[in-house]
Chains A and B, each alone.
Chain A
Amino acid sequence: MEIHSISIPKLPDDVIIEILSRLPVQSILKFRCVCKSWLSSISSQKFVKTHLKNSKKDSDFRQHRIMLNCRGNFKQFSVRSLLYEPIIDTFDTNDVAHNPTKSVNWVVGSCDGLICVATNKKDLILWNPSTRIFKRLPDFGVEINQSGYFAYGLGFDKSSDDYKIVGFFNNSWFLFEVTVKVYSLKSDQWKTIKSFEGRWLMDDPATFVNGKLYWIANFELELKSIWDIVFLDLETEEYGILQVPDYVKDCLYSKLGASGECLYVLCNHLTSADLWIMHDCGIGKETWTKMVSVPYNDDFWMNSYKREFYVLKNGEVLLHSGSKFLIFDTKDGSFRYPEIRSSCDFMAASTYVESLVSPVGLR
């Protein structure tokens, strides 16, 4: 039986791109061998960017993923499975952790599907876990001694269409002896930039939002001290300070996060944690709105939330506490605890989106 009265003409190229740019990376890698013209479309920088854009907006969170760091072993799974499945399977993804028992691997940045991993503090690897391609970065030329202090961040500079890694290094207790280095993926080189003095950057990795890297910064090397937020604009390489109002920062422990191109601060108090969202109103003017106050649950011996990952449209907030994830429903105040199969006591978790962005340049 004929269903349609006209035969299907070939789909135009732009329609094919609309479809292909919504596929998971693994399928795209397979479909490169469909024909030469697909290979050429898929390999173009334009396609990489279109796919990244779609990946970021993926409303069912299949292409948003979480990377667990299990004592140097990396495991990942989709945010979708975390939100909608009672038990989540993880996938081992250990391209970069060849010798997890002998070295300490730590995720020090995540941006556009690229993850920056530091091995033993200073050997940096830029890695795309979706394409499984990685690259060892050249040495940044600063010694880090045992008590040395360092902080990293990874972000994208739109003006130069370049990914940049920033490192703060300090081997002494003097704030004016901080060395700041910036690595550019395009030039494959580190350079020293002006240092930022007078604050300790406390959280690592930095949070990247809209061309800027953000760190919580203290005046002293103690957790409960006066803090602000320091940012570095990756285009101008200029620093700035976000003055955080007292009613926001009056807490025991705070952590930055990003969701949907917005900067969040999670502030842990004695009995609950407040999640604040910052609205940038332009030229040095910000407003802070309290999104939600999440009570601590008795199930957790550790009364603090480490990080906020996602603030969803339906009013759910995805948080990380200890070695567990929890989903707090702001509408009825209920908690859900997704269980991760064959999980370890993970030390840290990071989010990333599936992308084709290459850590080594054009393929």
Chain B
Amino acid sequence: MVTTDEKGPLTAKKKSVIIRSCDGDEFLVSESAAVLSTSLKKILEEKEDRLIHLSDIDNKTLAMVIAYLSTHADDGLSDDLKRSFDQEFVSGKEFDVLKYLVLATDTLQVTCLCYTVAKKMADIMKNKLVEWVRREFDIQNDYTPEAEAEIRRLDAWAWDDRQLEDD
């Protein structure tokens, strides 16, 4: 258990936890960063153990999430800097990488990052074809050709991409 003495300002800064990815890599993370994840916070409250093993997050994804958590736990950074870090963080990332990330943020319950990644994914997919979306989300088309044509007819204008703004 965490005793009151250990919560002093000096020791709190130094306190850290080890997080292990599913492929065995270990990351040393300050507790202040770790608790920004609701799931990690709960684990830390429940057990004394300073080693947390995440069985479904790989090392590359975990490294990204931890970079995010550490930046957001840094009191020395202004909100503006954190916001631009967030933009930088998702920019240029491939859709596949974002899928791993959004899953990890869902598992770890890092709501803010989950929203940022979801927004980026929406921005990437908004102009894509339905076939691209099915492929990326691994979805089987369960419509009959007639039923699909009917839905497409319903809002025929929506298929005119000139109406959609680019970035």
Residue numbers of A with Cβ under 8 A of B are: 3-6, 8-12, 14-16, 18-20, 22-24, 26-27, 29-36, 38-39, 62, 78, 80-81, 91, 131-132
Min Cβ gap B59→A in Å is 7
Q: Which residues of B contact A23 (CB under 8 A)?
A: 122, 125-126
Is there an interface contact between A62 and B140, defined as CB atoms closer than 8 Å?
no
Q: Which of B4-12, B45-53, B69-77, B153-161 contacts A (4 or more CB under 8 A)?
A: B153-161
Q: Mark B17-45, 1 if CB is under 8 A from A, else 0.
A: 00000110000000000000000000000
B84 within 8 A of A: no
9 cross-chain CB contacts under 8 A: A4-B61, A6-B58, A15-B118, A19-B121, A22-B118, A23-B125, A34-B130, A36-B142, A131-B155
| Known A15-B118, A24-B126, A35-B141; contact A30-B60, beta-carbon cutoff 8 A | no
Residue of A nearest to B162 (CB): A91
Contact of B134 among A27, A34, A132 (CB under 8 A): A34
Please provide the chain B residues from 63 to 110 with a CB less than 8 Å away from any CB of chain A in the complex: 96-97, 99-100, 102-103, 106
B164 within 8 A of A: yes
| Known A27-B125, A33-B130, A36-B142; contact A5-B102, beta-carbon cutoff 8 A | no
Q: Name the residue among B61, B103, B159 with the largest chain A CB count within 10 angstroms.
A: B103
B3 within 8 A of A: no
Q: Mark B126-167, 1 if CB is under 8 A from A, else 0.
A: 110010011001111111000010011011011100011100
Is there an interface contact between A31 and B130, defined as CB atoms closer than 8 Å?
yes
Q: Which residues of B contact A34 (CB under 8 A)?
A: 130, 133-134, 137, 139, 141
B119 within 8 A of A: yes
Q: Give how many B residues have a beta carbon under 8 Å from the other chain's beta carbons.
A: 45
Min Cβ gap A133→B in Å is 9
Residue of A nearest to B157 (CB): A132
Q: Name the residue among B106, B122, B157 with the largest chain A CB count within 10 angstroms.
A: B122
Residue numbers of B with Cβ under 8 A of A are: 22-23, 56, 58-61, 96-97, 99-100, 102-103, 106, 114-115, 118-119, 121-123, 125-127, 130, 133-134, 137-143, 148, 151-152, 154-155, 157-159, 163-165
Is there an interface contact between B59 and A5, defined as CB atoms closer than 8 Å?
yes
Min Cβ gap B3→A in Å is 38
Q: Which residues of A contact B102 (CB under 8 A)?
A: 11, 15, 18-19
Q: Which residues of B contact A15 (CB under 8 A)?
A: 102-103, 106, 114, 118
Residue of A nearest to B23 (CB): A5
Q: Which residues of B contact A91 (CB under 8 A)?
A: 163
| Known A24-B164, A35-B143; contact A8-B155, beta-carbon cutoff 8 A | no
Q: Which residues of A contact B59 (CB under 8 A)?
A: 5
Contact of A78 among B97, B143, B165 (CB under 8 A): B165
Given A4-B60, A27-B127; 10 other pairs, CB 8 A cutoff: A3-B97, A4-B58, A4-B96, A4-B100, A5-B23, A8-B99, A22-B122, A31-B130, A31-B133, A132-B157
